[in-house]
Amino acid sequence: MPLLPYPLRAALLALALLLAALPAAVSVVAQATPTAAGQGQGIEIANMDLAVSPGEDFYAFANGGWLARTEIPADRPSIGVFVELRNEATRRQIALLDGAADAAPGSDEAKAVALFAQGMDLEQRNRHGIEPIREALDRIAAIDSAAAFDAYQRRSVYDGVAATLPLSVLPDASDSDVNTLYLGGPTLGLPNRDYYLDDAPANLAVREAYVENTTAMLGFAGYGEAEAAAAAQAIYDFEAKLAAPTLTREQEQDFSLQNNPASLAELAERYPAMDWPAYLADLGVSGVETVIVTQEGYLEALPGIVAETPPEALRAYLTLRLLRAWDEALSDELEAVSFAFSQALSGVEEQPPLEERVLGQVNAGLPDAVGRLYVAAYFPPAAKAEIEALTADVLAAFRARLEANPWMTAETRARAVEKLDAVSVKVGYPDEWKSYEAVALGDSFAATLDSAAEVEIRRQYAEAGKPVDRTEWHAPAQLVNAFYNPLANEIVFPAGILQPPFFDAAADPASNYGAIGYVIGHEITHGFDLSGSQFGPTGNLENWWTDVDRERFLALNAELAAQYAAIEVAPGLFVNGQITVGENAADLGGIQVAYDALQRRLAEEVGTTPAAHPVLDPEAEAGATPTAESVVVEPPFTPEQRFFVAAATVWRTKVRPAYLELQVRSDVHAPGEVRAVQPLRNAAAFFAAFGIGPADPEWLAPGERIVIW
């Protein structure tokens, strides 16, 4: 089975608030002279457009040179810093797997090398076709009733199918020191419930493409053309019914709606068709008597939906889920047909190269084996120490902002500081790598992936009911991303993101604080955004707010949502302010706290006393903005100017129209061009740094600026 076909590991990252945009895209400044792309050491003047006034169009000023010469690759829906870094990290990993033939026999690294070689052997993969999943297809084909459908789900995860009753292992939201089981919502083929329920023209086109592509996919399982077309429509209809009773995306921002503990007896009352004790036993779970239901309305509706669905539709649904789960592990023909739906969603012109696709499967199956190779080659201990020190600086700056916060009462402020002081930081790579000793190399790419998946799934289910290991990493070291995990109150910065232009040991502080410092501040702020603020210092779901402070906080978030909802990113296409409010608040807090940290660092370097803490009330800053004539904006730039250029550089992007629409409709992040500038426009220091005043298009009046943290 592919790794992981259902949300075990992904569930934690979903509850965590990921930094970058959609993975397929989606996810800097000392020198006054250009540097070669990828070499780092500061902002690259060649990437800017100095002919543009920063007050006229700051995005073009900071990124115009890059925008003018950069084209979106045919195999990408977009291009930007995150994509470029992921491309470089991918190139490095492929080279390591190609060149590590001398890895110790039987070692985890040797298994990763062997698995990569199996994936690259298309001749063998095509010869096997879908035979590696034949037994699973036969199990699904034997389902002749709703009861048989539910019985199959007791072991479907080991075929790679999550279906309608997926169970994941995560820390208990009410007692984050103990792992427990979470019962999630349905596995769906479209990006989110809105694609099924909102009849916007763009959604209708996606539905049509989905049914058409599903028809083609079912042909690999032996369906005739007419039979496949009818089954594809039945699958869509079934999924639409499953989606309807799930929480809206706005409701999902309230974690209390997803924290619904239920005993096994209560689960049996709600969904009696499932033998819950047998289900847990089949998964290898013992000693667990309570499951947290994340979708109560869905669970209530599910028995009726399944009962009224013909067995042939249930079989077709499971067949599609199986084929989708395996689409990158079998023949290139199946992979190409499955990819066609991604093309319809994102507008991408062609598949990524085979070696990249295979690397993705190897990273899913044996992530720490690849991580060991990557860290040994590209992330020395000194880099880890430097990032830990920089993170400490940003945490200290955030603490100072909390202590000076003007809208919180002393009681809530003290609780906020308590939570901040409890934040744990993970940098680079885990202290203890996972072992893949139990993974067996099979006679095919799919067989080895199947072994790796089963080992990992059983390992995770065995943790249910056990104490949480807070040293465990839930992301590979080579990941180009960062995240905050509310259930552990931790921020995680894998080695993959700690490279230029985000972080460069040779760059000046302004560059690093504007880039990786901004990212660090962003992740810290996630602990205090609309969602993260619902969790306490140890990761428990708890209300640590006074009523008046929570009301003020919600009002500020509503203002922020309205500000972003007014931003039009394409004709008639506006940012979803409410869905993106958590990420937007993290961006705002990230830029403010990173700037404060830089000022503290600069003061320390020249041996002066740090300046007084910046005013946190935007209304009080109205008189602090200099006129445009009083500020020089040209190389080598002031540290403050370099800081903001670096911050805008992080989010530069070019995106295909279809993918931009997909992002706006399904992602919790605003598009990159918005993230590059809008957070800066809410910071008074930005206007002061470039002399931007009321006559400039980039100006945002003090009364319209929003400062939460």
Output the DSSP codes for 593-662. Answer: HHHHHHHHHHHHHTT-PPPPPPP--GGGGGGGPPPGGG----TT--HHHHHHHHHHHHT-EEE-HHHHHH
Fold of 9-91+379-439+468-704: Collagenase (Catalytic Domain) (3.40.390)
Q: Are 669 and 541 in contact (CB under 8 A)?
A: no
Distance between start and end Cα atoms, the chain: 44
For residue 609, the model assigns a pLDDT of: 59
Question: What is the value of pTM for the model shown?
Answer: 0.91
Say if residue 209 is exposed, middle or buried (CB neighbours under 10 Å; 0-12, 13-18, 19+): middle
pLDDT in tens, 396-418: 999 999 999 999 999 999 999 99
- Rounded Cα–Cα distance for residues 223 and 684 (Å): 62
pLDDT > 90 fraction of the chain, expressed in percent and rounded: 85
The pLDDT score that the predictor gives to residue 662 is 95
Cα distances (angstroms) measured from residue 111 to each of 102, 108, 442: 12, 5, 11
Question: Taking Cα atoms as reference points, which of 501, 655, 654, 659 lies closest to residue 67?
Answer: 654
Average pLDDT over residues 143-168: 96
* Mean pLDDT, residues 109-137 taken together: 97
Q: Is the pLDDT of residue 626 over 70?
A: no
Is the model's pLDDT at 2 over the cut of 80?
no
Same CATH fold, 130-329 and 9-91+379-439+468-704?
A: no
Q: How far apart are CA 16 and CA 171, in angstroms?
A: 12
Residue 33 reports pLDDT greater than 90: no
491-492-497 Cα angle (round to 5): 130
Which helix (DSSP H) or strand (DSSP E) does residue 17 occupy? strand 17-18
pLDDT above 60 for 269? yes
CB 702 within 8 A of CB 639: no
Residues 6+ apart with CB under 8 A from 89: 374, 478, 480, 496, 499
Q: What is the pLDDT of residue 613?
A: 47
Q: Is the pLDDT of residue 429 over 90?
A: yes
Among 3-12, 233-242, 364-373, name the one with the lowest average pLDDT: 3-12
Closest CA to 259 of 542, 9, 532, 551: 542
**Are the beta carbons of 376 and 517 closer than 8 angstroms?**
no
Report how far residue 167's alpha carbon sits from residue 156's, in angstroms, rounded to the nearest whole number.
11
Domain range summary for the chain, segments of one domain joined by +: 9-91+379-439+468-704, 130-329
- Contacts of residue 138, defined as CB under 8 A and 6 or more positions apart, other chains included, come to none
| Cβ-contact 255, 173 below 8 angstroms | yes
Q: Burial code of 23-61, b = ≥16 C-beta within 10 A, e = fewer?
A: ebbbbbbbbeebbeeeebbbbbbebbbeebbbbebbbbb
Residue 438: helix, strand or coil by DSSP? coil
Q: Please give the structure tokens belonging to residue 354.
A: 């085979």
In Å, how far are 94, 409, 470, 582 from 415, measured between CA atoms? 46, 10, 22, 20
DSSP code for 553: H
Q: In whole angstroms, what is the distance from residue 134 CA to residue 221 CA?
A: 9
Integer Cα distance of 235 and 176 in angstroms: 37
Instruction: Indicate the residue type of 268.
Output: A
* 428, 477 contact by CB (below 8 A): yes
Predicted confidence at residue 634, as pLDDT, reads 87
Residue 406 is encoded by which pair of tokens?
Answer: 């003007």
Residue range 691-698: mean pLDDT, rounded: 98
21 vs 535, more confident: 535
CA distances from 10 to 4, 6, 17, 35, 566 (A): 8, 8, 12, 37, 32
pLDDT tens, residue by residue, 440-464:
999 999 999 999 999 999 999 999 9
Structure-token pair, residue 623: 């008189």
Q: Which of 127, 119, 135 is nearest to 329 (CA)?
A: 119
pLDDT band at 630 (very low <50, low <70, confident <90, very high): low
Q: Which ranges of 70-179 would DSSP assign to H, the alpha helix?
A: 81-99, 108-120, 122-128, 134-141, 146-153
Q: Which has more confidence, 371 or 615?
A: 371
Mean pLDDT is lowest, of 82-91, 92-101, 123-132, for 92-101
Q: Average of pLDDT values for 580-585?
A: 98
Q: Provide the pLDDT for residue 382.
A: 86
Domain with residues 130-329, CATH architecture: Orthogonal Bundle (1.10)
Look at residue 105 in the predicted model and tell me its pLDDT: 86
Find residue 654's DSSP bridge partners: 79
Arithmetic mean of pLDDT over the chain: 91
**What pLDDT digit, counting tens, does each position of 353-394 carry?**
999 999 999 999 999 999 999 999 999 888 889 899 999 999
Q: In a 3-state reduction of DSSP, which class is residue 573?
A: strand
- What is the structure's pLDDT at 41? 64
Would you state the pLDDT for residue 29?
24
The first and second tokens of residue 614, run together, are: 């910046």
Write out pLDDT tens, residues 42-84.
789 999 999 999 999 999 999 999 999 999 999 999 999 999 9
Q: Assess whether pLDDT exceeds 90 at residue 13.
A: no
Spacing of C-alpha 352 from chain mean position = 20
According to DSSP, the residues that pair with 171 across neighbouring strands are: 179
- pLDDT score at 377: 94
Pairing mode, strands 424-428 and 490-494 = parallel
pLDDT digits (tens, 9 = 90+) for 469-504: 999 999 999 999 999 999 999 999 999 999 888 998
Q: Which residues contact 197 (CB under 8 A, 6 or more apart)?
A: 240, 243, 244
